[in-house]
Amino acid sequence: MQTTHVTVLVLYLLLMVGIGAWFTRSKEVATGDDFVFAGRNLPRPVMIGTLLATWVGSGTIIGGASFAYTYGPLASIFFLAGTPVGIVVLYFLARRIRRGSTYTVPELLESRYGVAVRMIAAVITVLAYTGITAYQFTGGGYIVSVITPLSPGQGAIVVALLVTFLAVGGGLKSVAWSDFLSALVIVSVLVAALPLVLGVELGGMAEYWQGLPESHRTVSGGLTALQLLGFFLPLFMLILADQNMYQRLGAARDESEARMSAGGFFLTSFLVTVPVALLGSAAIILMPDIEPDTAVLSLAGQEYLPVVMGGLLLAGALAFIITTGSSFLLSGAGNVVYDVTKRMFGVPMDDRRRLVIHRLAVLAIALVAYVLGRFFPTVLELQMYSYTVYGVAIAPPVLAVFLWRRASKWGALTSMVLSTVVTITWEQLGQPFDLNSVLVSLPVSLITLVVVSLALPDRGGHAADETPTDPDAARTEA
């Protein structure tokens, strides 16, 4: 245990707790819009920071590093490329996302397909986001165990408490500003670590390349083309319909600001994904016998970096994981409030009741997520499962809202239900033929959406429930 690492971590986490406490004040979070959209007055740097930190959490710092350690830097391109490619799509949709500005993605789906689609989408979203929150707890537990005498399981409890505190307190305001701070720290440390690890410890890029195992110097890393596609698609499909992305773009001051923030998110994403791929693969040379999940973290824990920088890397990585967990926890709880409590059960809610129910939902999902995390042995395994369930079920009908007018209620319903069943079944069968479930469930989702929509079109070209085509109107009726 490195005393300096512990000191840096404690001070950093105290700062995050302070930010959360500051925005918990009633005058900062007085309405449901304050809690979900941060009052729509976040500065652009904070918008970019919260988009980056929300997306780049345990899945990148732990899962991405694990992939690079196991298969090499070139194969990592396929795993990590889902992020920038997906951001490009969001960039061109950003204005329309801000214009709709719904509380939840299922609410957006109702405006096109009707209330039944909204309810199914809400269940799928809560299921997937609980899983994503769970692997933030697990990933954070790894970091705490690297720095302190606590076990990964005990560390996960600490992280779960901090994640829940940020989400329960100030809502998106506290999460966004915590994201911004974390993004500054982690990007700075990752970029600064590259020359120290590749240049100083390994002697330069040529030595780094020659030191990699032979399979790690290939484009595929020993994986087949289908297997590589199976790792690319879950990230790509998730970001296309990620409720966190839609809520943050909806929290922009205006449509132009939403697009500019998406552009900044695209550029800054490379400042995390590229260093993670290089550092994670470098760790196989320096530490060939460690657990892949700790590839980047161990560079700090085993003192390949200056002690203060190592402490900041560990603290920043943990902070990324905490704020990402808070974002998914906050977002999933929003589905419970707006899609289930208000829309499904018709419970009338003023601002005070909405805040209370939202915070209770955060606590309930956090508890379930912690329990769920105990059943998955690795972050990467839980990551791929959660990404796939949400991405294949939600992304196709969401994109059809913007891009395909003939998509129908029955097409969306059938596509979501069938793709979710196929994903869960394929995972429970142990991924036959060593193929990730997305390679089976995504074609099922797309084909079902198209075929059923053409066979059973909606009357008048929109949902048979005659719900409004404007998401804002849908919210008013809800």
pLDDT of 356 above 70: yes
Rounded CA separation 475/343 (Å): 9
Buried b vs exposed e over 223-258: b needs ≥16 C-beta within 10 Å? beeebbbbbbbbbbbbbbbbbbbbbbbbbbbebebb
pLDDT of 31 above 80: no
The answer to whether position 447 is within a domain reads no
The answer to whether position 387 is within a domain reads no
If you average pLDDT over residues 333-359, what whole number do you get?
Answer: 87
The answer to whether position 426 is within a domain reads no
If you average pLDDT over residues 129-142, what whole number do you get?
Answer: 84
If you average pLDDT over residues 310-326, what whole number do you get?
Answer: 82
pLDDT of 452 above 70: yes
pLDDT band, residue 463 (cuts 50/70/90): very low
pLDDT band, residue 247 (cuts 50/70/90): confident
The number of distinct structural domains making up the chain is 1
pLDDT tens figures, 49-100: 888 987 876 678 878 899 999 999 999 988 888 889 999 999 999 988 888 7
Judge whether 413 and 116 are in contact, CB under 8 Å.
yes
Rounded CA separation 453/469 (Å): 18
The answer to whether position 242 is within a domain reads yes
The answer to whether position 249 is within a domain reads yes
pLDDT of 461 above 80: no
Left (φ > 0), alpha (ψ -120 to 50) or beta: where does 91 sit? Answer: alpha
Q: Which residues contact 272 (CB under 8 A, 6 or more apart)?
A: 52, 56, 60, 186, 187, 190
The answer to whether position 400 is within a domain reads no
Q: 48 lies in which domain range?
A: 3-380
Q: How much is the pTM?
A: 0.79
If you average pLDDT over residues 382-408, what whole number do you get?
Answer: 86
Rounded CA separation 308/167 (Å): 29
The answer to whether position 233 is within a domain reads yes
The answer to whether position 218 is within a domain reads yes
Q: What CATH number should be reported for the domain holding residue 270?
A: 1.20.1730.10
pLDDT number for residue 211: 94
Residue scoring higher pLDDT (33 or 405): 405
- Residue 38 belongs to what H/E stretch? none
Q: Which of 74, 321, 309 is nearest to 194 (CA)?
A: 309
pLDDT band, residue 27 (cuts 50/70/90): low
Judge whether 38 and 171 are in contact, CB under 8 Å.
yes
